[in-house]
Structures are given as C-alpha cells and as structure tokens.
C-alpha cells in the first residue's frame, strides 16, 4: 500500500478515492500533535496503523520537531517502540 503525505497528514486511498488509512499530526509550534489514527475495517490487523505511525515519526523527525501523541493508538505505539521515545516532547 502506498501512503500519501502532506503537511501534518499521511494517508492512503483506494482507486475510487475512498480513505483507507490515515494519521494526522498538526503542528503546535515545535511539536507535532499526533491526534488521530484511522484504518478501514478491511485493513485492520495487518499492521497498517503501525506503518502509518512509523512514517509519521520519520516525517516528524525530519522536520526537527518533537511529538505529542494524544491519540490512544499513537500513545500505545510509542510504548511498544521505546527506541523512539527521544522524539516525545518533554512534559
């Protein structure tokens, strides 16, 4: 599956333009707020959300920003990937 990337959003659509998967991470100053993750039922259980988060983390890191995961999936993803915790904003 090919993900499309635009400012603060990574997503995938099918041939008809239907949204299949998405993660959004709008800027809040020097922090990207990961506030939404969605995966269509037809793709759940295949690691799609994790791939989205990986690409979002890479994008946030390239921008030199920190991450604030407010979406429950994103927060859980960072717990499962302690090697990425340096990206989290300090609280």
pLDDT digits (tens, 9 = 90+) for 13-57: 999 999 999 999 999 999 999 999 999 999 999 999 999 999 999
HSE, CB side, 13 Å, CA atoms: give it for residue 24: 5
Q: Could you tell me if 4 and 11 are in contact, meaning their C-beta atoms sit under 8 angstroms apart?
A: yes
4-87 CATH, one of 3.40.50.920, 3.40.630.30, 1.50.10.10, 3.50.50.60: 3.40.630.30
pLDDT band at 12, cuts 50/70/90? very high
Mean pLDDT, the chain, rounded, equals 96
Q: What percent of the chain has pLDDT over 70?
A: 100
What's the pLDDT score for residue 76? Answer: 97
What's the pLDDT score for residue 91? Answer: 73
Q: Domain map of the chain by residue range?
A: 4-87
The C-alpha atoms of residue 15 and residue 70 are separated, in whole angstroms, by 31
CA angle in degrees (0–180, nearest 5) for 3-5-63? 130
């Amino acid at each position: 599956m090919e993900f499309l990337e635009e400012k603060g959003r990574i997503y995938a659509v099918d041939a008809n333009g239907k949204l299949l998967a998405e993660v959004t991470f709008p800027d809040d100053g020097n922090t990207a707020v990961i506030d939404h993750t969605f995966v269509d039922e037809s793709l759940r259980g295949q690691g799609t959300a994790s791939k989205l988060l990986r690409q979002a983390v890479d994008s946030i890191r390239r921008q030199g920003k920190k991450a604030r995961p407010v979406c429950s999936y994103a927060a859980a993803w960072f717990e499962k990937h302690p090697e990425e915790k340096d990206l989290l904003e300090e609280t």
